[in-house]
Chain A
């Protein structure tokens, strides 16, 4: 395959970018921007959900929880003994990485020498090197990271909500894994996992900043294979999500001042194609803004009754195979919040959403869209998240403008049903609840 380029332009934003299907199989996005900082992200399409994978011949293989994240830590080691962080530092760049449910990303920001940074980024991600000793040493660091996350009540509440919604499912395991699961991770398993997913055809490079397509291509041509191996990555196997929620309520006690609640509504019919998903995502974004924004009736009424605080928020998450809406906040009486929420939803379902609320929400989200193109970091991240589904981010404002009131009301009826609700609560430990 030869390298192919496709250019996308948006008259609304006054911006354009190029999607490159590189001959190595890597998909590259270059979004030139006359700013000082270049931000680049290289991501492999594997995350904490890749616990059980199926090969072309139908065979299966399983990995311990937290392996994608463990690999993210270890990829910074080099055979030369020089740490990748040090290399970036000597270039005056900040490099880092993160692991999500669906992907693992490595990134840097640079105000000069962006090409040298790209070279390092591709080089270290494409050359894994670790030994039994370095893998063992990392265990202590990750063990502390797991403990740190354990002490954060909002993270706990969210993790418990996923368990409530999905039960036995990799979503219910923390991205870092557990002390027990990480003890099973060996160099061999890491190399195997790496070999399955870190192939150019299963990766995306997203770059934004004062850099052009040819500069990025020069680096890619030099460092990446001249041809795609054509060997596909194995397929993620997720347990078929049961239509019902696994647990309607999960409570945990932690030293919090006020109970933290997360209310989840499981989406029984997540979009099947990426286009269906993004359309639903845009419609749900508007619906959440209409129902739960700081300008809406629900928040303001409950805030005035001291049932909610400004920490209140709502958001929809969707990926292939699962989707849910999460409404979270702090309240001295979470059960009353749930009651009020259900009766409010009934009211809106009966009376319909108002045209004024719809227009207001469209305006706010339109402005958010435009402003998101003011930072190269945000642009590169945004390009990547759309690229994961092979979508064009310039489509999004159009989706926000075009989704109809009827479509939004249909989602309101479908996606906010009491039978799909799970409540996760973090309650104060007894001694603090007296305060």
Chain B
């Protein structure tokens, strides 16, 4: 695989990961903005409104039909947080030219659609984003906000994160609140779109088989043409910071579900790019992570049958670890005791060489398999590039292999219990009598 990153003539950053491995081509264009209470929900709304219609393709149906005609080109909105930044943009997943009957490359036409959406959305006679689109998408975004409660486990996680991050920008929900959206008008949203375009400092990724010349030409004729005024991505000047340790806070909320959910937020003080980053990743994996040999999975589920699901995630851009368990409400204290106990065990170095090796192997497998997916490759490199880091997959694998037992104990000692959120299920499970009785 050939990887190349450079600044194009138009002044935006382009990374090309050239590979013949796939039958598809992947392209992304994105830019990061600091999360702000007044702007972030509007930015999320804007992306959906832009995707609704353009000058050339005035309706959602027209855009979708155009993409379908390009052999099912998939155009997705990118909208997520990385630390205290909101990353916005679009990605394209396309069939490789060799598999298109006639051999024509659908890339250029698909990029034209992206350029239309970003720079030429459908406007009314006053130059404003179409009021009906704004209203539709507002209503839909409000539905999304309300439906967070449809999944009790996800809702508990959201609540815990908001309480954990408190005053930090990333505590703000990406879609905002129902009330905040009410006040968004076509005038405000159009002004916001223009402002974002001025500040748009795009970073483009391409993963696929196309030659550099062909790709550049397609970009120049489409997105690049519009980006002449673009400035360089400012990733190296971005500021990422960890969450500091504070007093432990406890929160409880009742919810009409059969199952209860415990979410615990821990601070590690270590983010991606820090020397101890790999040790924290391994700490999280030994403690819980995704592995069925992790301490909490074995103790909480396998030995004590307290829960079915028990997962934890390490948020590399803020240094937080969130542990989530779905359990019966009477078991929450036992679960908390067990989590505390296992954290102490790790800090005391009570884990085996086997556990450390298993955690390392699990990560090596994850990082090696990144090369098997264009989206995973883009996500890996973009995730580092946004912090101004340039770390190859090989370097990551080597760093994981080199973590020692002492490194894990050192980080284990600095991990602190910060926030716990308990969603108490108050719903009664309906007794489902099974009609097909056994003999």
Contact = CB atoms under 8 A, between A and B. Distances in A.
Interface stretch (A18-26, A57-65, A221-229): A57-65
A141 B307 contact: yes
Interface in A306-354: 306, 309-310, 330
A254 B436 CA distance: 26
B305 A138 contact: yes
Interface of B: 21-24, 59-61, 64-65, 67-69, 71-72, 93, 95, 99, 132, 136, 139-140, 143, 146-153, 255-259, 290-293, 298, 301-302, 305-309, 326-328, 354, 357-358, 360-362, 364-365, 368-369, 371-373, 425, 427, 429, 431-439
A36 B369 contact: yes
A93 B257 CA distance: 35
A91 B361 contact: yes
B257 to A, nearest CB: 4
A257 B150 contact: yes
Contacts of A61: 439
A363 B65 CA distance: 11
B236 to A, nearest CB: 31
B139 A306 contact: yes
Contacts of A179: 429, 431-432
Given A138-B305, A255-B149, A89 B362 contact: yes
B169 to A, nearest CB: 26
A92 B438 contact: no
Contact of B143 (A63, A254, A258): A258
B149 A371 contact: no
Given A62-B436, A170-B436, A256-B150, 10 more contacts: A37-B372, A86-B292, A91-B361, A152-B151, A172-B435, A173-B435, A180-B432, A256-B147, A360-B68, A374-B23
A233 to B, nearest CB: 19
A46 interface: no
A272 interface: no
Which A-B residue pairs are the 3 nearest by beta carbons?
A: A92-B361, A140-B305, A257-B146
Nearest to A65: B434
B362 A306 contact: no
A65 B439 CA distance: 12
A90 B357 contact: yes
B60 A303 contact: yes
Contacts of A65: 434, 436
A95 B365 CA distance: 12
A10 to B, nearest CB: 12
23 contacts: A37-B369, A62-B438, A83-B298, A92-B358, A94-B362, A111-B364, A111-B368, A144-B328, A147-B425, A168-B436, A181-B434, A257-B143, A294-B60, A303-B136, A330-B143, A360-B69, A363-B68, A363-B69, A365-B72, A370-B24, A370-B99, A371-B95, A429-B256
A168 B435 contact: yes
Of the listed residues A34, A83, A141, A373, the one surrounded by the most CB atoms of chain B closer than 10 A to its CB is A141
Contact of A144 (B149, B257, B298, B308): B308
A102 interface: no
A147 B435 contact: no
Contacts of B431: 178-180
Contacts of B64: 293-295
Contact of A257 (B147, B358, B369): B147
Contact of B71 (A34, A181, A364): A364
Nearest to B60: A300
Contacts of A154: 150
Contacts of B369: 36-37, 109, 111
A98 interface: no
A301 B65 CA distance: 14
A435 B365 contact: no
A294 B309 CA distance: 34
A150 interface: yes
Given A141-B307, A375-B372, A89 B23 contact: no
Contacts of B434: 64-65, 173, 177-178, 180-181
A115 B403 CA distance: 28
Nearest to A255: B256
A165 to B, nearest CB: 15
B25 to A, nearest CB: 10
B259 A144 contact: yes
B234 to A, nearest CB: 33
A137 B300 CA distance: 12
A364 B68 contact: yes
A367 interface: yes
B21 A34 contact: yes
B293 A364 contact: no
A203 interface: no
B308 A368 contact: no
A13 to B, nearest CB: 8
A369 to B, nearest CB: 10
Contacts of B425: 147, 151
Given A89-B358, A144-B327, A256-B150, A295 B23 contact: no
